[in-house]
């Protein structure tokens, strides 16, 4: 069987840049540095535009082709907001995906149990949510991902979907995800809520631009002040009501992207989780 090689756009562009530079070196030496300079600039900017898939494949939209979207929540679980959110989602019979932080899952194991018991999906969002993690070593990045995988396995699940903090990626992420049979999921629609620090009118912003097959990014962490939690919850409810009016149903992320987001571990026991 012939072995297939799947090169990333970064790899292909890098080879082309070096080839063009080498050719120019013999023709116009002064211009030979330009292709390499352009390549370096693109590499520096690419981590902030993960949807381009420059360094690795990134899923940012669904492929279901139906009048449907998926809702994802990042940065939880949180003991004040997550339970209220679960009640609201149950009221509207909505199944979401929670990209959880490992350290919080360890601190609030009962919330992970509640999320799973309600039929929602869980993804890996690193262990500490270090926003600078993509600028650190590959070893440190792997530790953040693997530590969260090991912790969540205790709940009887193995996440397959990974979302990086603030959506930034780097060249080292792809090999790590491949090693652990995971994939990267981003988003195509968000309300720019800054992790629930700006919740005013996020429902209006989202409903104005959301389209079918979108992956919606929201957060289930508490707002800047606890007194804002009812306002935040109302904004989420407005989104759910607005989606119904736009005749956009909410499907589990796995259905929207056409692949499992997590898998269960049948023999895992939850008795030792405290």
Confidence (pLDDT) at 209: 95
Helix (H, G, I), strand (E, B) or coil at 210: coil
- Indicate which residue of 120, 125, 129, 219 is catalytic: 219
Give the pair of three-digit tokens for residue 211: 């389209």
* CATH number of the domain enclosing 128: 3.20.20.370
Q: Beta strands 215-219 and 249-250: pairing type?
A: unpaired
Same domain, 140 and 222: yes
Helix (H, G, I), strand (E, B) or coil at 86: helix
Q: Beta strands 121-124 and 97-100: pairing type?
A: parallel
pTM, full prediction: 0.85
Same domain, 224 and 159: yes
Q: Flag whether 1 is in a domain.
A: no
Active site residue 193: no
- Indicate which residue of 74, 75, 78, 193 is catalytic: 74
Give the pair of three-digit tokens for residue 195: 């992790």
Same domain, 110 and 41: no
Please, what's the b/e burial string for 211-248 (b: 16 or more CB within 10 A of its CB; e: otherwise)?
Answer: ebbbbbbbbbbbbeeeebbeebbebbebbbebbeeeeb
Range of the domain at 38: 9-48
Q: Flag whether 270 is in a domain.
A: no
Same domain, 225 and 170: yes
Nearest Cα residue to 100 out of 262, 232, 267: 262
Nearest Cα residue to 223 out of 259, 191, 193, 268: 193
- Between 1 and 216, name the one with better pLDDT: 216
Q: Flag whether 274 is in a domain.
A: no
Same domain, 114 and 231: yes
Active site residue 220: no
DSSP labels for 141-179?
HHHHHHHHHHHHHTTTEEE-EE--GGG---TTHHHHHHH
Domains contained in the chain, number:
2
Helix (H, G, I), strand (E, B) or coil at 32: coil
Report the alpha-carbon distance of residue 159 to residue 153 in Å, rounded: 8
Q: How far lies 69's CA from each of 117, 224, 228, in Å? A: 22, 28, 27
Q: Average pLDDT, stretch 214-236?
A: 96
Q: Flag whether 166 is in a domain.
A: yes
- What one-character DSSP code corresponds to residue 67? S
Report the alpha-carbon distance of residue 104 to residue 102 in Å, rounded: 5
Same domain, 230 and 162: yes
pLDDT of 34-65, one tens digit each?
755 665 665 556 556 656 666 688 999 999 88
Confidence (pLDDT) at 33: 67
The answer, yes or no, to whether residue 194 has pLDDT greater than 90, is no
Same domain, 41 and 84: no
Same domain, 257 and 208: yes
Same domain, 27 and 113: no
Same domain, 33 and 147: no
Q: Flag whether 224 is in a domain.
A: yes
Same domain, 96 and 207: yes
Q: Flag whether 273 is in a domain.
A: no
Report the alpha-carbon distance of residue 46 to residue 38 in Å, rounded: 12
Q: Flag whether 191 is in a domain.
A: yes
Q: Beta strands 68-74 and 97-100: pairing type?
A: parallel
Region of poorest pLDDT, from 18-27, 72-81, 206-215: 18-27
Report the alpha-carbon distance of residue 175 to residue 203 in Å, rounded: 37
Q: Flag whether 20 is in a domain.
A: yes
Same domain, 73 and 16: no
- Percent pLDDT > 70 in the chain is 78
Confidence (pLDDT) at 56: 81
Q: Average pLDDT, stretch 180-196?
A: 92
Residue 252 and residue 94 in contact, taking contact as beta carbons nearer than 8 Å: no
262's enclosing H/E stretch is: strand 262-264
């Amino acid at each position: 069987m012939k072995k297939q090689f799947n090169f990333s756009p970064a790899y292909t562009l890098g080879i082309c840049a070096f080839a063009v530079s080498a050719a120019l070196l013999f023709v116009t030496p002064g211009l030979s540095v330009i292709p390499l300079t352009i390549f370096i600039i693109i590499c520096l900017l690419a981590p902030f535009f993960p949807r381009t898939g420059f360094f690795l494949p990134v899923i940012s939209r669904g492929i279901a082709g139906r009048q449907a979207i998926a809702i994802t929540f990042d940065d939880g679980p949180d003991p004040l907001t997550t339970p209220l959110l679960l009640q609201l989602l149950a009221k509207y019979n909505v199944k979401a995906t929670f990209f959880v932080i490992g350290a919080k899952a360890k601190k609030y194991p009962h919330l992970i149990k509640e999320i799973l018991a309600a039929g929602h999906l869980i993804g890996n969002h690193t262990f500490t949510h270090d926003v600078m993690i993509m600028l650190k070593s590959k070893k440190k990045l792997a530790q953040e991902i693997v530590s969260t995988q090991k912790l969540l396995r205790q709940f009887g699940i193995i996440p397959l979907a990974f979302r990086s903090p603030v959506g930034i990626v780097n060249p080292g992420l792809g090999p790590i995800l491949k090693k652990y049979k995971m994939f990267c999921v981003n988003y195509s629609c968000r309300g720019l809520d800054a992790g629930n620090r700006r919740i005013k009118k996020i429902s209006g912003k989202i409903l104005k631009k959301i389209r079918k097959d979108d992956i919606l990014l929201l957060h289930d962490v508490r707002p800047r002040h606890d007194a804002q939690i009812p306002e935040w919850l109302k904004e989420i409810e407005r989104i759910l009501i607005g989606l119904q009016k736009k005749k956009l149903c909410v499907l589990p992320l796995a259905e929207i992207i056409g692949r499992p987001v997590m898998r269960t571990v049948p023999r895992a026991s939850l008795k030792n989780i405290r």
